């Protein structure tokens, strides 16, 4: 059976290939030792790409496309997107957010940086490492909050997954849009902060 014919098979094939390649490189070097922090970062990055990739898809592709579809009087409209694409994309989006946050927190906990991060380095007398990763951790936490408290509950109204009046749908659309755009803004410094932990900041 071809694993590329299903999503689970494709993801599974990628995971197996990554592990095999990691083992080959390890065997060619100093031998096999399981590196928990690197493993957690790998999972964190995979989840983060899923989450932020979908955030950018919604903001840069789907929202403008739906607006264009709504203004095209003779066109096919956006019903196909709202019925088939958006619910599936939102499923991956919201759980990608959870998994990104959990793997990030697991990495910070495993490496002893969790309290440093969430106190912005103040716990260790102004640790620059704690400050950098802490900015990213707090921005990611705010973004996770926005996903589950503002975006998803309001998108359920917009997509007709829960009952709502026309007025409630209009307000839900506005709230979800604003929270999604705010998350897009926050994602840019958040990603800078995450990269800065291992590669130094722009101005160091």
pLDDT at 147: 98
pLDDT in tens, 61-89: 999 999 999 899 888 889 999 999 999 99
Structure tokens at 83: 């019925």
Say if residues 153 and 171 touch (Cβ distance below 8 Å): no
Question: What does pTM read for this prediction?
Answer: 0.91
Distance CA 101, CA 44 (A): 8
Write the secondary structure of 17-49 as one string of H (helix), E (strand) and C (coil).
HHHHHHHHHHHHCCCCCCCHHHHHHHHHHHHHH
Residues 51, 99: Cα–Cα separation, whole Å = 9
Cα distance between residue 125 and residue 22, in whole Å: 37
- Tokens 């998803």 locate to 152
| Residue 199: predicted pLDDT | 58
pLDDT of the residue at 198: 66
Low-confidence residues in the chain, pLDDT < 70: 126, 197-204
Neighbours of 65 (CB within 10 A): 13
- Residue 172 has what pLDDT? 98
Which pLDDT does position 52 carry in this prediction?
98
């Amino acid at each position: 059976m071809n694993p590329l014919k299903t999503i689970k098979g494709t993801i599974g094939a990628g995971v197996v290939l990554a592990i095999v390649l990691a083992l080959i490189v390890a065997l060619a070097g100093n031998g096999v030792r399981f590196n928990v922090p690197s493993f957690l970062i790998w999972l964190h990055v995979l989840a983060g790409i899923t989450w932020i990739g979908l955030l950018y898809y919604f903001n840069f592709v789907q929202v403008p496309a739906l607006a264009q579809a709504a203004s095209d009087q003779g066109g096919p409209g956006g019903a196909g997107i709202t019925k088939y694409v958006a619910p599936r994309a939102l499923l991956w989006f919201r759980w990608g957010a959870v998994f990104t946050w959990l793997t990030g927190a697991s990495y910070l906990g495993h490496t002893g940086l969790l309290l440093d991060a969430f106190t912005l380095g103040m716990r260790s007398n102004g640790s620059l490492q704690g400050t950098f990763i802490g900015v990213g951790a707090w921005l990611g936490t705010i973004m996770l909050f926005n996903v589950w408290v503002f975006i998803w509950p309001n998108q359920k109204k917009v997509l007709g997954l829960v009952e709502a009046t026309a007025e409630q749908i209009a307000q839900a659309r506005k709230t979800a849009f604003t929270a999604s755009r705010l998350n897009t803004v926050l994602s840019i410094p958040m990603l800078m902060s995450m990269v800065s932990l291992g590669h130094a900041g722009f101005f160091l």
